[in-house]
Amino acid sequence: MANVVVVGTQWGDEGKGKVVDLLTEKSDLIIRFQGGNNAGHTLVVGDRKVILHLIPSGILHDDKLCIIGSGVVIDPEILLDEIDALREKGYNVTPDILAISDRAHVIMPYHKMIDHAREATQQIGTTGRGIGPAYEDKARRCGIRMIDLVNPHMLRKKLDNYFDERQEYLTKVLKVKGTDKENIYVKFKAMGERLKDFVTDTAVLIDKESREGRNLLFEGAQGGNLDMDFGTYPYVTSSNTIAGQACVGSGVGPTKIDTVVGICKAYTTRVGGGPFPTELKDETGERLRAFGGEYGATTGRPRRCGWLDLVALKHSVRLSDITYLAITKLDVLTGFETIKVATAYKSGNTIIENMPADLEMYPDLEMVYEELPGWEESISEIRSYDELPRNCRDYIAYMEKKIGVKAAIISVGPKREETIQLFDLFS
Q: Which of 13, 102, 227, 309 is catalytic?
A: 13
Burial 216-232 (b: 16+ CB within 10 A, else e): bbbbbbbbbbbbbebbb
Q: What dihedral angle (degrees, nearest 10) is formed by the CA atoms of 127, 128, 129, 132?
A: 90
- Single out the catalytic residue among 21, 28, 41, 115: 41
Q: Residue-wise over 31-51: b if at least 16 C-beta within 10 A, else e?
A: bbbbbbbbbbbbbbeeeeebe
Give Cα separations from 270 to 18, 42, 377 (angstroms): 19, 16, 27
User: Is residue 21 flagged as an active site residue?
Assistant: no
Q: For 31, list phi and psi in degrees, rounded to 5.
A: -120, 115
Q: What are phi and psi of 132, to 5 degrees?
A: -60, -55
Instruction: Please tell me the distance from the alpha carbon of residue 243 to that of residue 240, in angstroms, as a whole number.
Output: 9
Q: Please state, in angstroms and rounded to a whole number, the distance separating the CA atoms of residues 195 and 76.
A: 8
Phi, psi for residue 4 in degrees, rounded to 5: -125, 135
Long-range CB contacts for residues 376-381, cutoff 8 Å, separation at least 24 = 376/334, 376/335, 377/334, 378/331, 378/334, 379/330, 379/331, 379/334, 379/412, 380/331, 380/412, 380/413, 380/418
**Dihedral sign for Cα atoms in the order 376, 379, 382, 383:** positive
d(CA 322, CA 329): 19
Q: Give me the residues paired with residue 309 across strands.
A: 342
13 noted as active-site residue: yes
Q: Distance between CA 119 and CA 202 in Å, rounded?
A: 34
Query: Where in the sequence numbering do the catalytic residues fall?
Result: 13, 41
